[in-house]
Amino acid sequence: MSGAAASGNEAARATSAGARPSGHRVRMTPWLIVFGLLAPALLLYATVYLGGMAIIGLASFGLGPDAESGATLANYREVFASAHIQAVVLRTLRVSAITVIACLVLGFPVARYITSPDARWRSFVVMAVLSPLMVSAIGRVFGWIALFGPGSWVAAQTMHFFGTRATGLLYTEAGVVIGLTNILLPFMVLSIAASRANLDESLLKAAASLGATPSAVFWQVELPLNLPGILGGVLIVFSLSITNFATAALLGGSGRDVVAYEIYSNILTYHQPGTGTALAILLLVCSVAIMMLAIWVGRRADAMQAARVET
């Protein structure tokens, strides 16, 4: 498409340059270079990534290479009608909502600490709390399994205090929330810390000097100023939480599936690509919409910040 146009352009330039007596070497048009540099990435993405998602989309409507009939909404109807899928979706939403709250409660003080000027243990806290971004999620899951599983100290304590079954927290929703909070906390911390980086500390001092109590400074000045970062973090953590596969599947155990695992088992275990692909498209739409909202919130906050600096 544009490649053909670019090369046509290139030929035209080459002739005009050749006609010039200056003897300068023919220079390629930047567009040809730009597309040459982008070609490997675009080619790969177009074939595997876009192509794959297009096939999922078609399959979810009953279309595709080996489709028997025309487009149908039957798969989507089945997803919405199935009591089992409804339970899975509800469980996923509940677990994700609690995870978001847990990340917020833990993440806000951490973000505040690492952006405060007198944080003595700053680099250690950053390293420790943000390390889950890079440290193997699957490797850490076994830590929780050992801690929560039958025969563990935690299992004995939960048995002692709550009288629940000896499995402790393993294969409970509480266990899944703990596991998810552990991997997703860094995203909340990063989002809030980024918005605090351009927080004007003098506003807090001004509020305090005008007689506001520490709690009033926090609730009426500091928190509203951090709202974009908090909102961004909430959206990102929620989106990553509803799409999580391995941690939720391993800590939730069989019979306590989340949406991502339901998609996996529909496609690979039960060979029901119709429901699996329809659910995948729904999950895709939801998570991308939430992420877009998070990006929009971030941009708006930056724009507001820029406007404030200018005035």
Footprint (CB under 8 A) of another protein, residues 12-71: 30-31, 33-35, 37-38, 40-42, 44-45, 47-49, 51-53, 55-56, 59, 65
Tell me, what DSSP letter sits at residue 164? -
Pick the binder of another protein from 5, 288, 303, 304 (CB under 8 A): 288
Compute the least distance from the CB of residue 311 to another protein, in Å.
27
Compute the least distance from the CB of residue 24 to another protein, in Å.
12
Task: Give me the DSSP letters along 246-295.
Answer: HHHHHHH-TTS--HHHHHHIIIIIS--HHHHHHHHHHHHHHHHHHHHHHH
Query: Per CB under 8 A, which of residues 195..234 are in contact with another protein?
Result: none
Distance CA(17)–CA(21), nearest Å, equals 8
> Cβ closer to another protein: 114 or 207?
114
Instruction: Report how far apart, in Å, the C-alpha atoms of 37 and of each of 34, 111, 261 are.
Output: 5, 39, 38
Compute the least distance from the CB of residue 219 to another protein, in Å.
14
All residues at 6 or more sequence positions from 304 whose CB lies less than 8 Å from its CB, including other chains: 228
> Cβ closer to another protein: 39 or 203?
39
Two structure tokens written together for 68: 């028997």
Q: Please choose, out of 11-19, 82-90, 290-298, 299-307, the segment that lies near another protein by the rule CB under 8 A.
A: 290-298
Compute the least distance from the CB of residue 202 to another protein, in Å.
20
Pick the binder of another protein from 260, 278, 297, 301 (CB under 8 A): 260
Distance CA(121)–CA(123), nearest Å, equals 6
Strand stretches in 25-173, DSSP E: none
Nearest CA to 179 out of 235, 122, 110, 253 is that of 253
> Cβ closer to another protein: 18 or 151?
151
Nearest CA to 147 out of 114, 172, 123 is that of 172
Pick the binder of another protein from 11, 12, 87, 292 (CB under 8 A): 292
Asked if 113 touches another protein (CB under 8 A), the answer is: yes
Distance CA(9)–CA(177), nearest Å, equals 58
Q: Report the half-sphere exposure of 166 (CA within 13 A, side-chain side).
A: 4
CA dihedral 56, 62, 64, 68 (to 10 degrees): 160
What is the size of the binding site for another protein (CB under 8 A)?
95
Asked if 301 touches another protein (CB under 8 A), the answer is: no
Asked if 96 touches another protein (CB under 8 A), the answer is: no
Compute the least distance from the CB of residue 40 to another protein, in Å.
5
Query: Per CB under 8 A, which of residues 148..167 are in contact with another protein?
Result: 149-153, 155
> Cβ closer to another protein: 181 or 207?
181
Number of H helices, E strands in the chain: 15, 0
Compute the least distance from the CB of residue 108 to another protein, in Å.
8
Pick the binder of another protein from 136, 209, 215, 311 (CB under 8 A): 136
Distance CA(162)–CA(21), nearest Å, equals 91
Q: Please choose, out of 7-15, 92-100, 138-146, 300-308, the segment that lies near another protein by the rule CB under 8 A.
A: 138-146
Nearest CA to 72 out of 306, 277, 295, 290 is that of 277
Compute the least distance from the CB of residue 150 to another protein, in Å.
7
Compute the least distance from the CB of residue 90 to another protein, in Å.
18
